């Protein structure tokens, strides 16, 4: 508890050191990358092979664990990652034409690929196997929309990739209508959509591409312009965190749009949640619509937090944290509590998918040097300087967001089975 307390005291951490350019070093990472390329690399020598003794899929008697008790007897968010290179990944980069460059780590040159082969295993139950056809049937004549920032976009893309393989060519499409992306499965009259709103409420960062985290101005009491695009959507999945955390203070307006002042981020976040809550209360019909809120996606910016004595980040991490508790200071517990309190107060049910802890273990699964910056892959010089250029916020796909979607799927399935 002592250490958690000291994390609280440190308050809000700045989450964007990667935007700080520093002196470029040349050519030192080459050897490391080459040796990582082999499945027999030192990573497994150092940590031991994942499957051995850990109980891979074979050792887990899938049938004895209650798959239909998610949320009752079983907290799906408590568990561990198990090595499973038989069933995972659920799709491949090449098999999903809808992935953007930001997530295709293999194509972008990531030398190791272990990160694709882990399955989230709750302690007391199994997550039902993701069945694309079942999901499409649940979405028949319906819309599902992911709302939030680029992390939420990753989850949207993951969901599209998880379902698209069962739809024949010509019967599926992806449209870009900024700030939205819309995937349609024609034969099901179903859509999976994404809406860019990094603060959920309105802000000057709402342009789908022309935005920067450096200049933030959030209109804490304004949501109607976004909200009109969310109206009537059958399944809404919200997320907003990392854009708030750039600095401990944020410029915002409340009441008059002209009275911009600096707000404490916790205060601002809580006001934004109030605005969101009242939008939900006056727009959501609980009988026909479902609302989810994704808890914060963790970052792995400071390797000293999981490996004391080091001063790196998520770069060169090929293996999850296992066998011990871990919570990084980037996942702010004050914000977590604000979300908890807001959902308690709400007059309608919003299901919190508390994926923070399970994702905390995955220091290995970020895009690191194999994502993109400003629409481009990293240059050789940038790759030689992981301390400044590794992206330890976004995730490779296939990867961790697939697990979030499997959990989302399991909650949708539970309702679907109860009512049909």
Ligand X SMILES: *[C@@H]1O[C@H](CO)[C@@H](O)[C@H](O)[C@H]1NC(C)=O
Q: Distances from the Cα of 295 to the Cαs of 33, 72, 118, 242, 287, in angstroms?
A: 33, 19, 21, 11, 24
Which of 150, 222, 277, 388 is flagged as catalytic?
150
Q: Which positions from 168 to 207 touch ligand X by CB under 6 A, shown as an x/- string?
A: ---------------------x-x----------------
Asked if 142 interacts with ligand X (CB under 6 A), we say yes
Among 19, 65, 348, 352, binds ligand X (CB under 6 A): 352
| Residue 239 to residue 150: CA distance in whole angstroms | 10
Position 92 contacts ligand X (CB under 6 A): no
SS3 content of the chain, % helix, strand, coil (to 5): 35, 20, 50
> Residue 92 or residue 312: which is nearer to ligand X going by CB?
312
In the complex, least distance from residue 21 CB atom to ligand X, rounded to whole angstroms: 19
Nearer to ligand X, 221 or 360 (CB): 360
Secondary structure (3-state) at 363: coil
Q: Tally Cβ neighbours within 10 Å of residue 108.
A: 19
Q: Could you confirm whether 246 is annotated as catalytic?
A: no
**Which residue has 């939030």 as its token pair?**
148
Plot region of 130 (φ>0 → left; ψ -120 to 50 → alpha; else → beta)? beta
Q: Smaller CB distance to ligand X: residue 128 or 248?
A: 248
Which of 277, 278, 357, 388 is in the footprint of ligand X by CB under 6 A? 357
With CB under 6 A as the contact rule, the residue among 222, 267, 278, 388 that binds ligand X is 267
Give the 3-state secondary structure of residue 383. helix
The stretch among 43-51, 169-177, 179-187, 276-284 that binds ligand X (CB under 6 A) is: 43-51
Closer to ligand X by CB, 64 or 214: give it: 214
**Which CB sits closer to ligand X, 134 or 357?**
357
Please name the residue that has the structure tokens 């599902």: 144
Helix (H, G, I), strand (E, B) or coil at 233: coil
Residue 401: both structure tokens together: 């967001």
Which stretch, 90-98, 279-287, 348-356, 376-384, contacts ligand X (CB under 6 A)? 348-356
From the list 41-49, 89-97, 279-287, 374-382, the region that binds ligand X by CB under 6 A is 41-49
Name the helix (H) or strand (E) containing 82: strand 79-83
- For the question of residue 391 being annotated catalytic, the response is yes
Interacting residues of 38 by C-beta distance below 8 A, sequence separation 6+: none
CB 338 within 8 A of CB 80: no
Question: What are 417's two structure tokens?
Answer: 């089975």
Return the DSSP state at 74.
B
- Is 211 tagged catalytic? no
CA distance 4 to 287: 40
Work out whether 249 is an interface residue with ligand X (CB under 6 A). Answer: yes
Is 339 near ligand X (CB under 6 A)? yes
Phi, psi of 378 (to 5 degrees): -70, 150
Exactly one of 13, 18, 50, 280 binds ligand X (CB under 6 A); which one? Answer: 50
Catalytic residue among 113, 394, 402, 410: 394
Residue number with CB closer to ligand X (95 or 189)? 189
- Residues designated catalytic: 150, 391, 394
Where does this chain bind ligand X (CB under 6 A)?
A: 29, 32, 42, 46, 49-51, 83, 85, 141-143, 189, 191, 210, 247-251, 262, 264, 266-267, 295, 312, 316, 336, 339-340, 352, 354, 356-357
């Amino acid at each position: 508890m002592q250490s958690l307390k000291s994390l609280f005291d440190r308050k809000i951490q700045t989450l964007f050191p990667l935007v700080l350019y520093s002196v470029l070093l040349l050519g030192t990472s080459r050897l490391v990358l080459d040796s990582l390329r082999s499945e027999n690399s030192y990573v497994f020598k150092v940590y031991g092979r994942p499957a051995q003794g850990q109980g891979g899929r074979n050792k887990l008697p899938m049938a004895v664990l209650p798959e239909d008790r998610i949320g009752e007897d079983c907290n799906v968010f408590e568990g561990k990652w198990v090595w499973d290179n038989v069933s995972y990944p659920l799709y491949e980069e090449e098999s999903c034409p809808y992935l953007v460059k930001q997530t295709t780590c293999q194509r972008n040159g990531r030398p190791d690929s272990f990160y694709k082969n882990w399955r989230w295993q709750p302690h007391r139950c199994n997550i039902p196997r993701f069945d694309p056809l079942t999901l499409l049937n649940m979405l028949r004549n319906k819309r599902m929309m992911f709302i939030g920032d680029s992390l939420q976009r990753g989850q949207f893309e993951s969901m599209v990739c998880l379902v698209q393989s069962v739809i024949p060519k010509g019967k599926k499409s992806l449209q870009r209508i900024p700030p939205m992306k819309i995937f349609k499965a024609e034969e099901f009259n179903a859509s999976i959509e994404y809406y860019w709103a990094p603060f959920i409420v309105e802000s000057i960062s709402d342009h789908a591409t022309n935005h920067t985290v450096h200049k933030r101005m959030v209109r804490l009491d304004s949501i109607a312009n976004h909200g009109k695009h969310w109206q009537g959507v059958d399944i809404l999945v919200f997320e907003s965190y990392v854009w708030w955390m750039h600095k401990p203070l944020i410029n915002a307006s409340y009441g008059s749009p002209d009275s911009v002042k600096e707000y404490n981020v916790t205060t601002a976040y809580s006001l934004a949640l109030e605005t969101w809550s009242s939008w939900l209360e006056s727009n959501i019909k609980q009988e026909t619509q479902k609302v989810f809120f994704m808890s914060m996606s963790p970052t792995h910016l400071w390797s000293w937090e999981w490996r004391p004595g080091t001063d790196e980040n998520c770069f060169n991490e090929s293996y999850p944290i296992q066998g011990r508790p871990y919570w990084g200071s980037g996942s702010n517990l004050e914000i977590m509590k604000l979300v908890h309190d807001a959902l308690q107060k709400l007059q309608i049910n919003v299901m919190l998918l508390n994926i923070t802890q399970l994702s905390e273990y995955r220091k290995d699964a970020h895009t690191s040097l194999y994502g993109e910056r400003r629409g481009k892959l990293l240059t050789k010089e940038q790759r030689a300087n992981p301390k400044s250029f590794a992206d330890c916020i976004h995730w490779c796909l296939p990867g961790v967001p697939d697990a979030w979607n499997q959990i989302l799927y399991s909650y949708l399935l539970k309702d679907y089975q109860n009512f049909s």
